[in-house]
Structures are given as structure tokens and as C-alpha cells.
């Protein structure tokens, strides 16, 4: 419950305060957000699997975000940034889908 409240508070803060993101970080923000979404779905599934551990969740969340941003950064340096970010988004999207399928099986039993 407190986690959901945290998510809602974050969205509200982002909408209301309209913070300015530094220009250097800006290209990596969408990828980082998708990676964090992937981590959150994985955490939800782990909770339903009763294997949830906050330490693992924190580590996976941060490492997902960092690795995704790093991959995109590396792609930018190599000149294949847009292709690589597309690949990252595809991979993360597949993972999100599979996690969502597992969650669905848990919650709806189908």
C-alpha cells in the first residue's frame, strides 16, 4: 500500500513541480523508465510468487536502470544509439509482457 502511495506521489510530484531534467540525461530517461517498469513488474510477480525480497528488488531496479542507460549511452558513442535503444525497449517490453502474463495467472488463475 505504501508502495502504491509512493508511485502516486511520484507521478503527482512530476506533474505538479515540472522539474527540469539536465540535457545530458534526457535521452536516457525514457529507457530508464522502461527498465524501471520492467523491474517493478518483476517485483510484483516475485511478490505473487512469494519470493519477493526488497534487497533483490532494489538491486534489480537500480541495475536495470543503470544497465539500460549504459547500453543506450554506449550505443550513442558507437553511433547506433537509436537502434540500440530500440533493441533495449523491445527486450524490456518482452520481459514486461512475460511478467504480466505470470501476474495474470496468479491473480485471475488463467
Partner 1 sequence: MQSAERPGAAGPEDAAPGVPAARDAAGPPPGDPDAAGTPRDPAPAGRPAESPERPDTAPDGGTDPPPSPDGVTDAPADGTAQDPGRAPSGAALLRAALWPPRATRSQLVVAALLFALGLGLAIQVRAAGSDDTALRGARPEDLVRILSDLDDRTARLDDEKRQLEAQRTELETSSDQAEEARRQNEERERRLGVLAGTVAAEGPGVTLRIGDPLGVVGADMLLDAVQELRAAGAEAIQINEVRIVAETAFTDRNGGVRLDDEPVSAPYVVRAIGRPQDLEPALNIPGGVVQSLENDSASVRVDRPERVTVDALRPTELPDYAQSSP
Q: Does 26 bind partner 1 (CB under 8 A)?
A: yes
Q: Total number of residues binding partner 1 (CB under 8 A)?
A: 63
Q: Which residues contact 107 (CB under 8 A, 6 or more apart)?
A: 48
What is the pattern of x (binds partner 1, CB under 8 A) and - over residues 59-78? -xx--------------x--
CB 22 within 8 A of CB 81: no
Nearest approach, Cβ of residue 28 and partner 1 (Å): 9
Tell me how far, at minimum, the Cβ of 23 lies from partner 1, in Å: 6
The cell numbers describing 94, all together, are 518482452
Q: In the range 75-104, which residues lie near partner 1 by CB under 8 A?
A: 76, 79, 81-82, 95, 98-99, 102-103
Question: How many contiguous H segments (helices) and E segments (strands) does the chain have?
Answer: 4, 0
- The least CB distance from residue 82 to partner 1, in Å, is 6
Q: What are phi and psi of 76, to 5 degrees?
A: -65, -40
Report the C-alpha gap between 63 and 71 in whole angstroms.
12
Amino acid at each position: 500500500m505504501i508502495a502504491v502511495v509512493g508511485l502516486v506521489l511520484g507521478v503527482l510530484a512530476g506533474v505538479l513541480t515540472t522539474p527540469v531534467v539536465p540535457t545530458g540525461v534526457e535521452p536516457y530517461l525514457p529507457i530508464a523508465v522502461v527498465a524501471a517498469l520492467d523491474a517493478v513488474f518483476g517485483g510484483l510477480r516475485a511478490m505473487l510468487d512469494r519470493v519477493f525480497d526488497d534487497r533483490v528488488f532494489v538491486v534489480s531496479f537500480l541495475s536495470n536502470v543503470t544497465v539500460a542507460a549504459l547500453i543506450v549511452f554506449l550505443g550513442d558513442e558507437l553511433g547506433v544509439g537509436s537502434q540500440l535503444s530500440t533493441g533495449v525497449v523491445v527486450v524490456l517490453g518482452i520481459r514486461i509482457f512475460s511478467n504480466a502474463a505470470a501476474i495474470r495467472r496468479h491473480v485471475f488463475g488463467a
